[in-house]
Amino acid sequence: MPTHLLDDLDAWRKAWLDARNDPDGFWLRITHDLIAWRRQPSRGLDGSYLTLREGPITWFADGTLNVTESCIDRHAQAHPDKVAILWEGDEPGDVRRITYAELLDLTSRAANVLLEAGIQKGDRVIIYMGMVPEAAIAMLACARIGAIHSVVFGGFSAEALRDRVRDCAAEVVITQNVGLRGGRTLPLKATVDQAIQGESSVRRVLVLHRAPAPDTHLHPLRDLDWHQALAAASPVCPPVECAAEDPLFILYTSGSTGRPKGLLHTTGGYITYVAWTHRQVFGLQPDDIYACMADVGWITGHSYIVYGPLANGATTFMFESTPTYPDAGRYWDMVERHRLSIFYTAPTAIRAIAAQGDAHVTRYDRSSLRVLGSVGEPINPEAWRWYHDVVGEGRCPVVDTWWQTETGGICISPLHGATPTKPGAATLPLPGIIPALLDGDGHLIWGPGEGYLCLEHPWPGQARTVWGDHDRYIATYFSAYAGRYFTGDGCRRDADGYHWITGRVDDVLNVSGHRMGTAEFESALQSHDSVAEAAVVGFPHPIKGQGVYAFVVLQPQAETPDAFFDDLNRLIREHIGAHARVDRFQLAPALPKTRSGKVMRRILRKIVEEQPEQLGDLSTLADPQVVQALLAGYIPA
């Protein structure tokens, strides 16, 4: 049976070989088992990475379903009183429990509100919220009626939000009057107002009243109060029957160019993949209280707070606050109070808490914990050991899960104690995932070695296209190595076949698990009148994984007042959001460029990694002298 937990390496190996030898049969068996289809699919994969110009790949193309039936209705029938969403707010002890029966009621009401607002199958809805249950309900309400949601992380600025609203021509925005996080109040509604001011496709704004905020303004013809609208709506909303390849959501993510890409995930393959990986990686048991600390604004929140756990009928925990509010013991306080059994967070949080001392952990009872997970960035062996030894008391397996917005779900990871782990290794590919390492010349590396990480064969959860720009999807992911998906990551494979992700090899930064493009920073910096040019690179940071270092070239005769760098960071906050910030600025006479004018970032990276002996060949530079000047002006931490 495909849904049996793979509980040792032999079981993993057999499943991996099955999936490689007969991918269609493998995934059809899994989806028949795990997902509530209206019409069962008989087809597996159609298309390949070599036929993308003819159109996206498809999985289960002849099946029909509505994902909310898998995520809600069947569980509301089988165990209506089981808690679906267990929520803790910003203040410790502010708790809500939403059962599967209640989730069905709330989702149906919200779906009816969207229908009344004129939203139909295929229309886009932006969700700009903090970590409240209503964010998940809003996502599910869209899915209920076949609308496409695009969640925008609540830290993004009005300008970034406007770009996303425009790109997908959203007709409704769902938000909160204010967000609460770490004792602070975030003006979410005011940011939405700013983002959609003037000409906009948005016809309705649905506003959840999260906390008293006297100056929130509701536009009488456009804005609706969430609670009032849901109270007035019918609690019954028949799910719309969708084709397996109908879009489920768009999620914007950063790449190497300035413009974020709207990755499109579809229905049948995505729900199959996230349900199955959630079950296998964490070894899910019926009475688990499963907790993922990500934000629904990122893919981890989509796949492993909302869709995967709910498809599996689990109790999923949602957390509004931060790991250090009111102090660094918050996570373990919640583990003790809620008896959390699976705990999934990011290395940044682990390092930040570890730096505050073990006492914050050990004063709480962690005996409920069974499996610990890590996601979002490479976990250094020291942080891994602390997580394993101190948090997990040496008895909980650590699953270091490697994946991406593009992959939809976990691709390389140990399985819940079935896979022997090594601190810092993402270990082995899940069944259905065939990693390949390539060298700089595009040759396959066999056996141990280090290279560019590609994946060979399509799997059901992968993003199908970039919203509105299929050519960009092909160019970004499938042009570097024909017939292979290029991940943008570097990876080392050891003699046991274990994978160690080394980080991005393109111009993407990963700061505290937040994925940002260097080009987004650079365009913000260049919008300042005094800045002629700027180049941004990541440097190794002990807590954040990467910090941001900016080389700034001034316009001739430009002045740099005292607050100049603060001004630059303010611009970045306006263009991107509060989570984006340059840590160190260096004023530079020029940037190192090739004779054709291309900035050689490799050189800048080596400077900030403090490895000047590895600068490599400088002979192709237009002006090799620049490098000496940059080294001389380097600003150490």
Task: For residue 452, give the nearest of 499, 513, 405, 518 by alpha carbon.
Answer: 499
Which one among 149, 515, 544, 575 touches ligand PRX, defined by CB under 6 A? 515
Q: Is 489 in the site for ligand PRX (CB under 6 A)?
A: yes
Tell me whether residue 242 or residue 281 sits nearer to ligand PRX (CB atom): 281
Give the tokens for residue 275.
């349900």
Residue 61 or 453 having the CB closest to ligand PRX = 453
Binder among 375, 396, 398, 463 for ligand PRX (CB under 6 A): 375
* Min dist. Cβ of residue 346 to ligand PRX (A): 8
Does residue 405 touch ligand PRX according to CB under 6 A?
Answer: yes
Characterize the bridge pairing of strands 315-319 and 289-292: parallel
CA neighbor of 354 nearest in space, from 374, 370, 376, 368: 374
Smallest distance from the beta carbon of 453 to ligand PRX, in angstroms?
A: 9
Tell the burial category of 58 from Cβ atoms under 10 Å away from its Cβ (0-12, 13-18, 19+). Answer: buried
d(CA 162, CA 196) in angstroms, rounded, equals 6
Residue nearest to ligand PRX (CB): 405
Q: Which is nearer to ligand PRX, 192 or 425 (CB)?
A: 425
Near ligand PRX by CB under 6 A: residue from 501, 509, 548, 552: 501
Segment lying near ligand PRX (by CB under 6 A), choices 315-323, 381-389, 401-409, 621-629? 401-409
Q: Does 300 bind ligand PRX (CB under 6 A)?
A: yes
x/- letters, 412..431, toward ligand PRX (CB under 6 A): --------------x-----
What is the distance, to the nearest Å, from the Cα of residue 110 to the centroid of all Cα atoms in its chain?
Answer: 25
- Rank residues 307 and 402 by Cβ distance to ligand PRX and give the closer one: 402
For β-strands 124-128 and 148-151, DSSP reports them as parallel
What residues have CB less than 8 Å from 221, skipping those under 6 apart? none
Query: What distance lies between CA 156 and its chain's CA centroid?
Result: 14
Is residue 298 a contact point for ligand PRX (CB under 6 A)? yes
| Residue 232 in tokens | 């007035």
Q: Compute the distance between CA of residue 198 and CA of residue 629 in angstroms, rounded to an integer.
A: 46
CB of 216 to ligand PRX, least distance (A): 31
Which of 305, 134, 102 shows the shortest CA–CA distance to 209?
A: 134
| Span from 139-147, 293-301, 530-538, 619-627 in contact with ligand PRX (CB under 6 A) | 293-301
Q: Identify which of residues 144 and 416 has a Cβ nearer to ligand PRX in the complex.
A: 416
Q: Does 143 bind ligand PRX (CB under 6 A)?
A: no
Give the total of residues touching ligand PRX (CB under 6 A).
Answer: 23
* Angstrom distance (rounded) from CA 159 to CA 166: 11
**In the complex, minimum distance from the CB of residue 300 to ligand PRX, in angstroms, rounded to a whole number:** 5
Q: Compute φ and ψ for 380, nearest 5 degrees.
A: -75, 150
Give the 3-state secondary structure percentages of the chain, helix then strand then coil, rounded to 5: 30, 25, 45
Contacts to ligand PRX by CB under 6 A? 253, 298-300, 375-378, 400-405, 426, 487-489, 501, 503-504, 510, 515
